[in-house]
Structures are given as C-alpha cells and as structure tokens.
C-alpha cells in the first residue's frame, strides 16, 4: 500500500496503524479470505470486522451475563448495560483486524504490540507481536512459542486475557 492508501484507511477507521503493521502493509497487501481489503477501508466487511470485538462483548453481556467488576455494578436493564459497555470500549485502544478474528491494538503507536484472538469475551494473546503472529499463523509454528514471549500489556484488552487465564 502507498502512504496515501494507508492514510486513507487510517482516516476511515479513526486509528493509526502501528509502525510494524504499516510496514507490513506497505510491502504487500494480503487480500481475500479472512484478510481485510485496506484499499476499500469503508467497505461493509471492514466495518463488520471493526465492530466484531464490541459485538462479541455485547453478545456475552446479553446471553451469558458477562460483566467485568472494573465496570462497576451491572445495570439491571440490558440496554443500559450495553450503553455503558459501549462507552467503555470506545475509550479502549482500537483493535485493527489483521485476519479473521485476529487483531492488533492501535495503541501504543509503537511496533511490537501483541496480536489478540478475539471471539466474544474469549480474548487471548495470539502472538507477542505482528511478526510472531504471522510466523505462527502462516508457517505453522507452535502457538506456545507465539505466546510465551514477553507481552506488552494493552490497556483494557489485556484484562480479558487475565480473566481467561
């Protein structure tokens, strides 16, 4: 992707790609299947992928009584619980889709952010950084190797990983 294309995609999604993702996408843009087509950042498919993390949380709030203690007392009315959760997630670092339900956080704006697997509230580390994730996902290295490196903690999202351990 060109700098102009990267800039347009970042503008549409409201977040800057971390430096390692920018570099990766400028070298080659994987498309098709599970990969977002960043040359069409305003597509319904990218919007769906961007909404996926919150939609999964909302599903678990509604159907599985999910609620983190850090969010305070859960409201008895579902619409209010969803409204509060939406506001909390809106303050969290934006998750940028890489492939399927694998995401990299936009913050901090540094290379080396971990990659998360996000499926409802089942959120786990799937790589200590983009390169480790890609080696694991596409070269079939061990997932254990991909997650047993030191992980950068990411505000909000790492709390789910902690809750799932």
- Reported as a single tens digit per residue, the pLDDT across 110-161 is 999 999 999 999 999 999 999 989 888 877 655 555 455 678 999 999 998 9
The domain containing residue 19 runs over which residues? Answer: 3-164
Return the pLDDT at 83: 97
3-state secondary structure (DSSP) of residue 102: strand
How many structural domains compose the chain? 1
pTM: 0.90
Q: What is the pLDDT of residue 149?
A: 61
Lowest average pLDDT, out of 3-17, 26-40, 92-106, goes to 26-40
Please give the pLDDT value at position 1: 93
Q: Where are the alpha helices (DSSP H) in 68-156?
A: 78-91, 130-139, 143-147
Q: Which two tokens stand for residue 54?
A: 């919150």
Confidence of residue 165 (pLDDT cuts 50, 70, 90): confident
pLDDT score for 136: 82
List Cβ neighbours of 137 (8 Å cut-off, separation of 6 or more): 99, 102, 126, 127
pLDDT of residue 56: 97
Q: Is-contact 81 75, C-beta < 8 A?
A: yes
* Residue 77: strand, helix, or coil: coil
Mean pLDDT, rounded, of the chain: 91
């Amino acid at each position: 992707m060109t700098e102009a294309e990267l800039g347009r995609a970042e503008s549409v999604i409201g977040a800057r790609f971390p430096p390692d993702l920018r570099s990766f996408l400028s070298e080659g843009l994987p498309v098709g299947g599970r990969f977002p087509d960043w040359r069409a950042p305003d597509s319904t498919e990218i919007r769906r992928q961007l909404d996926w993390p919150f939609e999964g949380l909302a599903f678990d709030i509604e159907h599985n009584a999910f609620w983190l203690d850090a969010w305070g007392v859960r409201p008895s009315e579902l619409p209010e619980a969803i409204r509060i959760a939406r506001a909390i997630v809106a303050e969290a670092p934006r998750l940028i889709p890489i492939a399927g339900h694998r995401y990299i956080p936009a913050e901090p704006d540094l290379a080396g952010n971990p990659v998360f697997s996000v499926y409802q509230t089942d959120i786990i580390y799937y790589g200590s950084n983009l390169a480790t994730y890609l080696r694991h996902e596409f070269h079939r290295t061990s997932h254990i190797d991909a997650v047993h490196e030191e992980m950068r903690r990411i505000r909000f999202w790492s709390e789910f990983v902690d809750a799932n351990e």
